[in-house]
Amino acid sequence: MERPSARETGAIPAHPKLLSLIVFALSVVGVSAGAWEALAVHAVIVFVVLGLARVPIGRILRGLTFALPFVVFAVVTPLVALGPRTEVLGVSVSSPAVDAALLMIAKIVIALLASIAFSATSSAQELLLAFDRLRMPSTLTAIVSFMIRYAVIVGDDVRRMRIARQSRGGQDHRVAHFRAIASSVGTLFIRSYERGERVHLAMLARAYDGVFPAAAGRSASAAEWAVALSPAVLALIVTVASHVLGS
């Protein structure tokens, strides 16, 4: 779960970065059809950020796989979309849909790269502090914090159960193993739930009274705010400018 925190951007607390990500993604999504220059600037911005943050290329590529189903969707849609038809490589496609599909793919990839830049430079712990700073409801933040804290442990449970299963019944790739896998997931729930009960009792024993002690997150300096928000503000200006100039 612990993310490799990259140096430059990683040093900044996560809450300005999270705000920056939201504004940047909205700017990308808000680009109107045909405003390719704006998206090109957005792409440059996100690559500069990824470069400065020294996000490993493997992590970027792995993150990009999340977009694959939707890129496939965008590639297929011109074949079935409405509108006048045109020929591309001998295949009849809807011509407005081709432009729209390309635009959609560009937006998805650029915004996803921004999300990758954020997640690669913010540890789960920093994210929780950011939730606190951004006044997320404390119950939700508390649940998120327990989930993040125990996801690794529960994930280890999954691995141990798989090893145990395989040592008894061989590789579990066959339908015959379905029931065994299902009961181990059922057991996983029981173990997790009981662990949750024990954790809560332990907290009560340590004088937990429904309020979490204030998290020790530090505030961001004005310079850090400026650095974190600069990509987003730039992207927003570009999008707004493209709307103004385009109309």
Considering only residues 166-185, where is the footprint of other proteins by CB under 8 A? 172-175, 177-179, 181-185
Paired tokens of 148: 């993040």
**Residue 49 in the binding site for other proteins (CB under 8 A):** no
Question: DSSP characters for 146-212?
Answer: HHHHHHHHHHHHHHHHHHHHHHHH----SGGGHHHHHHHHHHHHHHHHHHHHHHHHHHHHTT--S-P
Q: Which of 144, 233, 234, 241 binds other proteins (CB under 8 A)?
A: 144
Is the Cα dihedral 81, 84, 87, 90 positive or negative?
positive
In this structure, how many other beta carbons lie within 10 angstroms of the beta carbon of residue 112?
A: 20
Interaction between residue 154 and other proteins (CB under 8 A): yes
Cα–Cα distances in angstroms (integers) from residue 128 to residues 10, 22, 215, 216, in the given order:
15, 16, 9, 11
DSSP state of 67: G
Q: How far is the CB of 224 from other proteins (least distance, A)?
A: 19
3-class SS shares of the chain: helix, strand, coil, % to 5 = 75, 5, 20
Binding part of the chain for other proteins, among 5-13, 45-53, 189-197, 216-224 by CB under 8 A, reads 189-197
Identify whether the C-beta of residue 3 lies closer than 8 Å to the C-beta of residue 14: no
Query: Binding other proteins by CB under 8 A: which of 5, 150, 234, 241?
Result: 150
CA–CA distance, 86 with 96 (Å, rounded to integer): 9
CB of 167 to other proteins, least distance (A): 17
Site for other proteins, residues 193 to 232, rule: CB under 8 A: 193, 195-197, 199-200, 203-204, 208, 210
- Tokens standing for residue 95: 């011509």
Of 68-127, binders to other proteins (CB under 8 A) are 69-70, 74, 77-78, 80-84, 96-97, 100-101, 103-104, 106-108, 110-112, 114-116, 118-119, 122, 124, 127
Our CB check for other proteins shows the closer of 175 and 216 to be: 175
H or E, element range at 44: helix 36-52
Closer by beta carbon to other proteins, 21 or else 53: 21
Number of residues that bind other proteins (CB under 8 A): 96
Is residue 11 a contact residue for other proteins (CB under 8 A)?
A: no
Q: Which of 11, 40, 143, 164 binds other proteins (CB under 8 A)?
A: 143
Site string for other proteins, 13-42 (x = CB under 8 A): -----x--xx--xx-xxx-xx---------
The residue among 58 and 69 lying less far from other proteins, judged by its C-beta, is 69
